[in-house]
Amino acid sequence: MSSISLRNVKKSYGNEVVIENLNLEIRDGSFTVLVGPSGCGKSTTLRMITGLETLSGGDIFIDDTRVNDVPPGKRDISMVFQNYALYPTMSVRENIEFGLTNKKIPKEERQRRISDVCEIVGLTEYLDRKPANLSGGQRQRVALARAMVKQPKVFMMDEPLSNLDAKLRTQMRVELINMHKRMGTTFVYVTHDQVEAMSMADDIVLMNQGKIVQQSGPKELYHNPNCIYTAQFVGSPQTNILDGQLPEKMKLGFRPEKVRLHPVEAGINIPASIQTKEMLGSEIIYSLQTPYGVVMCKSEEDMEDAVKVTMGVEFSSMYLFGADTVRLPFDDKARAAVSAVFGGPSK
C-alpha cells in the first residue's frame, strides 16, 4: 500500500516535449485510471512511475521516497503489459515464479504464493503449459498472476484489456475491481476507453496533450466537467455544445440523456425535427435538427421518425462554458441570457 506523487515532471524525446509540467497525486489504495486519447502522455506517465522511462525533469515519490534513480525492479511495483509480455519459453509456473526467484524468496514460500495466486485467477490446471498454448484470456490471467505474486506496493496496468474480445473484457473488468477490493493495493491503470475508466476507477485522471485536464471521481467527472473537453470525453453520445448564439462567445452544453422530447418548465424549449433514430434496446438515440444545429438525444420515449417535436432542456442540466472552453457558473445572469437567446420556459 502506498501513495505516489509526481512533482513538476517533464518528459521530452529530443526536441519533442511530450509532458511539460505534470503534477499528480495518486492516493494510497486507490484505483486510479489515467485516461485520454492516444498520444496524450498517459502511457509515458505510467512508464515513468515504473522506471521503464527516465524523467527529463521533476521528481517521483513513492511513499515519500524519491525514486527517480531507483531501477524498475527495486521500486516494489508490478506491471501488466498491454501484450502481456510473458516469457514465451517458460511455462506458466516459471513465468509466475521468475520474479520471486530473482528476489531470492525461499522455495516453500514461492510454492505457497504461486498456488494461492493461481487459485484466485483460476490457472491451477494450466501451470505446466507454455503461453503459446493458452487463449488470450488465460495469458491475461498469467500476466495478472505474475504481477500479483510479487505482492507489490503498487500495481500498474497499461491497457491490459485491449487485446481481449468485448465479452471477456467486461468479465475481466469485474474481476479487476474485485481484485482491487481484495488486495487493497494502489492500482494505476492506463486506458483510452472512457467506459473502462468510468466503470473501474475510484479516481480518474483525464489527460490531453501531456496535461491533466481534470482529476476526480467518475461521478464528479461525469456530472461536473470543468471544461468542454471533459464534458465531451465521457459519455456517449458526447455532450451537445451549442456555440455561436450566446454573448461573449459563451457556449451551452447539455448531455443527450438530459434532452427531453417535450416542452419543459424550468428550461429552454426549441422546435426540432427527428432526423435519425438508433434503437439501442433500452434507449433510443435520436439526432434532432434544430435552428442551432444538430442535437443528439438519448431517450426511452419511442417517437416516429421524421416527426416535428419541441425539444426541452432544463436549466439544472445545463453547463455553461466560456470562450476559452472552461466551465462557468450557471447563475441567474447566465440563466437570463440563455432564456433570451433560446426562448424561455413554456407556459
Partner 1 sequence: MRGTTALSKTERQERLKGYLLAAPAVVLLFIFTVYPLCYLIYRSLFGGNLITKDPKFVGLENYTSLLESKDFHQVLSNTLIYTAVTVVLTMVLAVVIAAWLNSKKNRRLNELVQTCIFTPHIISMVSVSTLFLWLMDSKNGLLNILLNALGFESFPFLASPDTALFSVALVTIWKGLGYYVLLIMAALQNIPTSVYEAAEMDDTPALKTFFKITLPMISPTILFTSVVATIASFKVFDSISVMTGGGPLNSTNTLVYYIYEYAFRYGKPGQACAAGVILLVFVCVITYVQFQVSKTRVHYQ
Rounded to whole angstroms, the Cα distance separating 301 from 295 reads: 16
Least distance (Å) from partner 1 to the CB of residue 27?
23
Nearest to 35 by CA among 184, 181, 229, 226: 229
Do 191 and 288 contact (CB within 8 A), yes or no?
A: no
Nearer to partner 1, 72 or 263 (CB): 72
**Residue 145 or 241: which CB sits closer to partner 1?**
145
The minimum distance between CB 152 and partner 1, in angstroms, equals: 9
Give the nearest distance from C-beta 168 to partner 1 in angstroms: 21
Which one, 146 or 327, has the nearer CB to partner 1? 146
CA distances from residue 219 to 197, 204, 215, 260 in whole angstroms, order as listed: 11, 10, 11, 22
CA distance 157 to 80: 5
Q: Cα(119)–Cα(90) distance, rounded to whole angstroms?
A: 20
**Closer residue to partner 1 in complex, CB, 73/217:** 73
**Unique residue bearing C-alpha cell 465531451:** 232
Write out the residues near partner 1 by the rule CB under 8 A.
50-52, 71-74, 77-79, 81-83, 85-90, 98-99, 102-103, 132, 146, 150
Q: Judged by CB, which is closer to partner 1: 143, or 268?
A: 143
In the complex, least distance from residue 146 CB atom to partner 1, rounded to whole angstroms: 8
What percent helix, strand, coil does the chain show, rounded to 5? 35, 30, 35
Q: How far is the CB of 225 from partner 1 (least distance, A)?
A: 34
Distance CA 54, CA 244 (A): 45
